[in-house]
Structure 1
Amino acid sequence: MSEDLGLPTAAPGVTPARVLTIAGSDSGGGAGIQADMRTFALLGLHACVAVTAVTVQNSLGVQGFQEIEPETVAAQMHSVVADIGVGAAKTGMLASAPIIEAVAGACIDLGIGRDSGVPLVVDPVCASMHGDPLLATEALDTLRSKLIPLATVVTPNLDEVRLITAIDVVDATSQRAAAHALHDLGVQWALVKGGHLRSSEQSPDLLFDGDEFHEFVHPRIATAHDHGAGDTLAAAIASALAHGYSVPDAVSFAKRWVTRGLESAYPLGAGHGPVNPLWRVARP
């Protein structure tokens, strides 16, 4: 390996750092809770889970999904945080306005979010990489008004940026405008990911806290297998935050982590394969 991309790990028998993912399940195993838990485990953290939806999907796309009752989503959060405790939390697929409201309410009750002791990473999943909708259109206003203002960092891709802010990011100038628009919604740090900026030979991510910009630029990885890249990035950010990293340092770490996963991504089924965090334990 050319660089050490590990986080501090607990000795055998010692409780590791804990992190909570609030997201949907991916039956194909490439994204969602499955991608989050792979990332957490390979980085040495214990994963707690609040399932928001069960999807029917494979490498070709999402054929359907079943939402979990909002009260059950919130109850999962209360159950694990009250007993086990978490050092950070992240959201993924939330599916509907009632689930977003339930998650936001539980975060406030449990002290999760930007003004509390537990950092919150909001990955505003609106659609799958195949374009299949994963968030009801009417839920966007709830996402903007209820959850994003609680977030320590929000991590939209460019399609999600357009849905949330109505800004079409095509270059560095519009990327900065989008970062300002996201920050104006109340998030502490806005991360505008540039992986979908196909006009660039690089993959430029831009982080903004209202005063200062941080740029994270890595070479674009030529692969058709990038399923779960956003989930993996957000999970790695949450993992680093659970260890006390600053947001810029957590994003820098996660960007390098997901880049390595893209470099070693593998084909799966007849469609898109997943980002591969298993490079961490691969043998030469």
Structure 2
Amino acid sequence: MKYYTYPAVLTIAGSDSGGGAGIQADLKTFSALGCFGTSAITAITVQNTRGVTGIHSVPPEIVKGQIKAVMEDIKPAAIKIGMVHSPELVQAIAEQLRQYPVPVVLDPVMVATSGDKLIQDETIQLLQQVLFPLAKVVTPNLDEAQILSGLSIRNVDEMQVAAQKILQTGCGAVLLKGGHLPGPRLYDVFLPQNGHLQVFESEFIQSQNTHGTGCTLSSAIAAYLALGLPLQQAITQARDYVHQAIDQGKDVKTGAGHGPLNHFFHPQPLQKHELE
């Protein structure tokens, strides 16, 4: 009798009670792209489409335990890291991940779509020092990139300068997302270590439903890495997935604020890989 396995992905992130971002968006994305999702929850947020009103941190030892339990049994092929809002959690996650040679997609979540701050100030420097060097790619948006680089970013040229500065933290690559720049087109800047800078371009979609866009993109990249795609191709396909998820969800009303994407506009079956 033949046995099979599914490509698994681990998300290390916060829970969004509104279901549009964080762990919930990550698991939806993994499932939609044909992967088996697992999780290590770093925090429980009190959140809906209108904003965040509370954050309850999960103890670092419990977060480490979740990661170990998943990595030693299910053995995910890729990891996505989202909201890590305290220095203790940064250290705990870094200590655990150093044991596993698995590609890491790090989304340095600092500010929610609603504008609410989700990370402690003293965490930012430590995040760059101990978690960025473990990441295959980090995916800051404009607000996060300005915090990380200390630079003002108003156009694509300044995005490129900021990406170069963030790359000096030792991460494998930077995907700087330009979705907050005004204009009819969207631009993302991709810069790998010892590689060529690339500017991705796409059409801007007018929508109120953009909550969880960054979470979805980073988890989609991780899913495609788990499916065996090289990084640049994983980013290309993840951007296309997010673009379609925004487009297919733009006319849906969920809550009174920023609604979620349509993660399941074209779900893929779980991919079965034969065990040797």
TM-score by length of 1: 0.90
Match of 1:120 among 98, 104, 111: 104
Matches within 5 A, 1:253-268: 253-265=237-249, 266-268=252-254
What is the aligned partner in structure 2 of residue 240 from structure 1? Answer: 224
State how 1:3-152 maps to structure 2 within 5 Å.
Answer: 14-109=4-99, 111=100, 116=101, 118-152=102-136
> 1 CA distance for matches of 2:267 and 2:124?
38
State the Cα deviation string for residues 179-208 of structure 1 (Å, max 9, x = none): 10111110111000011112x321111110
Structure 1 position 235, deviation (Å): 0.6
TM-score (norm 2): 0.93
Does structure 2 retain, via aligned residues, the 8 Å contact 1:158–1:168?
A: no
- 1:126 and 1:221 map into 2 onto residues whose CA distance is 24
**Partners of 2:131 and 2:190 in 1: CA distance:** 19
Q: How far is 1:228 from its partner?
A: 0.5
Moved over 3 A (4+): none
Any conservation in 1 of the 2:30–2:37 contact (CA below 8 Å)?
Answer: yes
Give the structure 2 partner of residue 278 of structure 1: 264
User: Does 1:178 find its partner at 2:162?
Assistant: yes
State the AA in 1 paired with 2:80.
K
Give the match for residue 10 of structure 1.
none
Question: How far 1:281 sits from its partner (Å)?
Answer: 4.7
Decide which of 141, 147, 155 is 2:139's aligned counterpart: 155
* C-alpha separation in 1, matches of 2:33 and 2:4: 15
Q: Distance in 2 between matches of 1:140 and 1:130?
A: 20
The residue number in structure 1 matching 2:153 is 169
Deviations 1:119-147 (Å, cap 9, x if unpaired)?
10000000111111111011001111011
Answer whether contact 1:267 1:274 (CA < 8 A) is retained: no
SS at match of 2:147: helix
Q: Distance in 1 between matches of 2:172 and 2:151?
A: 19
Which secondary structure does the structure 2 equivalent of 1:279 belong to? Answer: coil
**Where does residue 271 of structure 2 map in the other structure?**
none
- Aligned equivalents of 1:133, 1:97: Cα separation in 2: 16
Identity fraction in percent: 39
Q: Which residue of 1 aligns with 2:273?
A: none
CA distance, structure 2, for counterparts of residue 249 and residue 169 of structure 1: 26
Aligned-partner residue type, residue 274 of structure 1: P
- Give the aligned CA root-mean-square deviation in angstroms: 1.4
Choose between structure 1 and 2 for higher RCO, CA contacts under 8 A separated by at least 6 residues: 2
Relative to structure 1, the CA distance from residue 29 to residue 255 in structure 2 (aligned partners, 3 Å threshold; closer, same or farther) is same
The aligned length equals: 264
Is the Cα–Cα contact under 8 Å of residues 214 and 248 in structure 1 kept in the other structure?
A: no
Aligned-pair distance for 1:272? 1.0
Please list every run of 5 or more consecutive structure 2 residues that lacks an aligned counterpart in the other structure: 269-276
